[in-house]
Amino acid sequence: MTTIMEVKPRIFIGSSSESVKIAKEVKKNLEPEYECTIWQDNFFQLNDSTYHNLVRRAAEFDFGIFIGGKDDRVLRIKNGTEKIGARDNVYLEFGLYAGVLGMERTYFFIHNDCGIASDLYGITVLRFRGQKGVEVCCRQLKEKLQEEREISRISLLPSTSLAIGYFENFLKRLCRQLESKVAKATVEIVIPDTVKENWVSWSQIYYKKRNAKKFLVSEPGREIPVYIDKDLYEKQGDIYIIDIPLTLCSAFEAVNMIMKKDYIGETASIIASKEREVRNFIKTLECLKENEPYIKKVCQIRFATLS
């Protein structure tokens, strides 16, 4: 079974209908490393507007690519000059996704003969001419995509803030007490390998399965509730703490609100968005751990099932 972290990064590719052949070329060049969805791939849901589909489903994707082909002739009324340009809707969609995903994860492929909107002056775009030009741009883009996959950016995703709060207010404080008082300790952050179940109920079953008992760790100004693997402690005397970050449930609720969920069950779009939140949460934690030697040493993150 593929885990949440093994899901390929998702890329949305937008274009005009006239430039969809170029969009397909980009998709072919980026697969199979990435899961690419072109707007023609049953992207738009029935009984919903194009605009609302674009906005809501942006939360599913890790990156966005937009194709500016030689689609329109643009006449400037002021001086009567004319230029070849991309369709207006491509600029609109690029702006929408740049707002949600960030400029560093939203890219513009534009034909070399096209003029470009003045708001994009100073921003490096990928210029192409012909199939070979598209292949060259895709090679450049792959390098950038790989860089982005190695880091966690501050973004509009709730999971970014939740991961920082979890790290600062729970993990860091807990490890400070462990380092000063315990000779040997392990902190295992357990991530349920599904976003389809209620994580609160899942965690109760999992703690019971692991025979984990609740304890309070004293920290100046507060007490930190933790679950300790009782069997391991009694056999070896090791402090083995298990924690399921239920703070992520807030991100799931945010996804439901963005998607305007008013029904029971989970659509593929909502599942993909929640899985992205989980991956972003983990990536942010991993990046934060790099600057804390003790936390990096004792803390591990892993997926688990109830089976």
Q: How far apart are CA 205 and CA 209, in angstroms?
A: 6
Q: 300 or 2, which is more confident? A: 300
DSSP of 14-26, one letter per residue? E--GGGHHHHHHH
* 107 within 8 A of 66, measured Cβ to Cβ: yes
Q: How far apart are CA 189 and CA 299, in angstroms?
A: 7
pLDDT of 259 strictly over 90: no
| Reported confidence tier of residue 263, pLDDT bands at 50, 70, 90 | confident
pLDDT value of position 1: 54
C-alpha 98 chain-centroid distance:
14
pLDDT value of position 123: 78
* 225 within 8 A of 172, measured Cβ to Cβ: no
pLDDT value of position 261: 81
pLDDT value of position 40: 86
* 217 within 8 A of 172, measured Cβ to Cβ: no
What is the token pair recorded at 54?
A: 């674009």
pLDDT value of position 6: 77
Which tens digits make up the pLDDT trace of 167-212? 999 999 999 999 988 888 999 999 999 999 999 999 999 999 999 9
pLDDT of 227 strictly over 60: yes
Residue 129's DSSP bridge partners are none
In the chain, the DSSP E strands lie at 10-14, 35-38, 63-68, 72-75, 82-85, 106-111, 126-128, 185-192, 212-219, 222-229, 239-243, 299-304
Which tens digits make up the pLDDT trace of 23-74? 999 999 999 899 999 998 888 776 677 787 888 888 889 999 999 988 877 7
pLDDT of 127 strictly over 60: yes
pLDDT of 154 strictly over 70: no
pLDDT value of position 157: 73
Residue 215's DSSP bridge partners are 226
CA terminus-to-terminus distance, the chain: 12
Whole-number percent of the chain with pLDDT over 90:
57
pLDDT (mean) for 107-113: 92
Question: The tokens 């950016």 sit on which residue?
Answer: 153
pLDDT of 279 strictly over 80: yes
In 157-280, the DSSP E strands lie at 185-192, 212-219, 222-229, 239-243
Of 35, 47, 44, the residue nearest 17 (C-alpha): 44
Q: What structural domains and CATH numbers belong to the chain?
A: 4-149 (3.40.50.10140), 158-304 (no CATH)
State the average pLDDT for the chain: 89
